[in-house]
Amino acid sequence: MFHLIQFNPLHYQEQLKNKNMGIYLYDGFVNSDRVKAVTNLKKNLLKMKNVVWFSKQHPRVRGTNEKTKGFIPIGETSIPLEAFLLSDLPIKYIAGEGSSAFYSVPPRMIAGYVPNPYRFYLKHLLDLKILTPDKVYDWQESQKK
């Protein structure tokens, strides 16, 4: 399957240097109110020890590969997160912005989540107990304080 989708997990393994892997998913939705939540989440992720963080954009936002200091961009945008999950890569954490990919990971892997106001994933992820409220970085809550 990896050959068919032109995915080489060894490319990522070489960059880990015996550390765990984290993948930050971003959805390409830019909103000035949301920036604070995204920034706080990324700062907290980079404080985690023994984790190399990669950033993976959503396939629909091709060509906007996010470059964030401390995160290694995954250039192959058409490769789904699920391919990474099926590999032998030591993926320990998933974090990021509103994406249906969070349905594919066990709750223990989710390090943080910023909801997308145009998707209804947050309610379902909470109802299904895939996501817990303490992992949600919600800019709307911070606006109320």
Residue 55 in contact with residue 74, Cβ under 8 Å?
A: yes
Burial of 63: CB neighbours in 10 Å, binned 0-12, 13-18, 19+: exposed
Residue 129 in contact with residue 108, Cβ under 8 Å?
A: no
Contacts of 134 (CB under 8 A, 6+ apart): none
Residue 125: both structure tokens together = 């992820």
**Which residues does residue 95 pair with via DSSP β-bridges, in sequence order?**
24, 112
From first to last of the 145 residues of the chain, give the pLDDT tens digit. 888 888 899 889 999 989 999 999 988 777 777 888 999 999 999 999 999 999 998 776 665 556 678 899 888 778 889 999 999 999 999 999 888 899 999 999 999 999 988 788 999 999 999 999 999 998 666 444 4
pLDDT of the residue at 108: 96
| Nearest residue to 1 via CA among 75, 60, 58, 85 | 85
- 53/111 Cα distance (integer angstroms): 12
pLDDT of the residue at 64: 54
- 34/129 Cα distance (integer angstroms): 24
Reported as a single tens digit per residue, the pLDDT across 23-40 is 999 887 777 778 889 999
Amino acid found at 105:
V
